[in-house]
Amino acid sequence: MIEWSLSAQKQFYSVGPNHVCFWDLNNFQGGILKPKACTFGIGQEKVTQLCAASGLSDNMYTGGLNGNIYWWNKGSLKNNVQAHNGPIQCIRFISELHEGKPTIITGGSDKVVCFFDPVTLTSLRQITVDSVPRSVDFSKFLLIGLRNGNILEYDIVKSVKEVIMQSHHDGELWAGCVIEDYNVFVTAADDNKILMFDMDSKKCV
């Protein structure tokens, strides 16, 4: 995957199996764009990176298959810490979240969403969810997209979480049936689930 830099319009990172690369479109010459391979440092094992998030001041953060957060600056590794017991599936940098300060949010295969200080990489808060987080974002509330097809809304002030959308996941939707007498419709899919939705509230019941 790629993540564009918040600091410079023509710079981005790419991450994947055992690599992190820093790209600068200003270096596009002769129809060829060559990346700068980021170095893990002496004695550091190369680790597959699954996700990336751009921070401020040319910083970039990536989530490793080993559960570590990696902090990069213009292609050089600044630090890394253990964040999850298992792969980090998603990572997001929020400029103002925890007490109005910049915060890194991660979601791991251990079904935990974590908050980290982007400078010290110290843990600030953890939220346990009932499925693997695959995406996270924040506006007024924290939104967490889960592996089971649900979207979870979390109020970081009140520490209250609510499922605001449910759906199927993995595969095709095979059946749908409207039950007019009860104002509901029923669906079935490859995920071996049968779900019933209220047509007025448009929520799974």
Specify whether 188 is located in the same domain as 146.
no
What CATH number corresponds to the domain at position 25? 2.130.10.10
Q: Are 155 and 161 in contact (CB under 8 A)?
A: yes
pTM of the model as a whole: 0.82
Query: Domain range for residue 32?
Result: 2-165
pLDDT tens column, 90-123? 999 998 876 678 999 999 999 999 999 999 999 9
Q: Which residues pair with 189 in a beta bridge?
A: 173
Specify whether 12 is located in the same domain as 79.
yes
Specify whether 95 is located in the same domain as 189.
no
Specify whether 38 is located in the same domain as 56.
yes
Specify whether 160 is located in the same domain as 82.
yes
User: Looking at residue 98, what is its pLDDT?
Assistant: 60
Specify whether 68 is located in the same domain as 157.
yes
Specify whether 179 is located in the same domain as 102.
no
**Average pLDDT rounded to a whole number, residues 174-200:** 82
